[in-house]
Amino acid sequence: MYPDDYRYTKEHEWIKKGNAEATVGITTYAQKELGDIVYVELPTVGKKFAMGEAFGSIESVKAVSEIYAPLEMEIVSVNSTVVDQPELINQDPHGKGWLVKVKLGNADLDSLLSSGEYEELISQEKH
């Protein structure tokens, strides 16, 4: 269910490293917990964030949740489609529902959870 080439955070964000940049979004588990997403607030291109710093928020019919930087990063692109159509995050959180593309600082992707470790984390949260 969770792609092996992604890394995950305990706050339910995912990151996928590309060649020059990485893509960040929220996981299937996170969007299911939130319910129907109605609004997304994302940062502007060029903004920098430290690991663990809030870089945006997602509002659902249930709650407003902050989105946290999985690693030190600089925003290089924002998915304006999800701003206009936030339901894309519910429909395809690991694909069309991506949030931002980033340039990583001195980032160690191995410090984040693998898909197996993430699945174990959410199985514990469900109990």
Domain ranges for the chain, please list them: 7-125
- Return the CATH fold of 7-125: OB fold (Dihydrolipoamide Acetyltransferase, E2P) (2.40.50)
DSSP helix/strand/coil, 59: strand
Burial readout 56-67 (b: 16 or more C-beta within 10 A, e: otherwise): bebebeeeebeb
Tell me the pLDDT of the chain averaged across its residues: 94
**What's the pTM?**
0.94
Q: Copy the structure tokens of residue 47.
A: 């903004």
For position 6, what pLDDT does the model report?
A: 95
Model pLDDT for residues 2-41, shown as the tens digit of each residue: 989 999 999 999 999 988 899 999 999 999 999 999 999 9
Distance from C-alpha of 26 to C-alpha of 30, rounded to nearest angstrom? 6
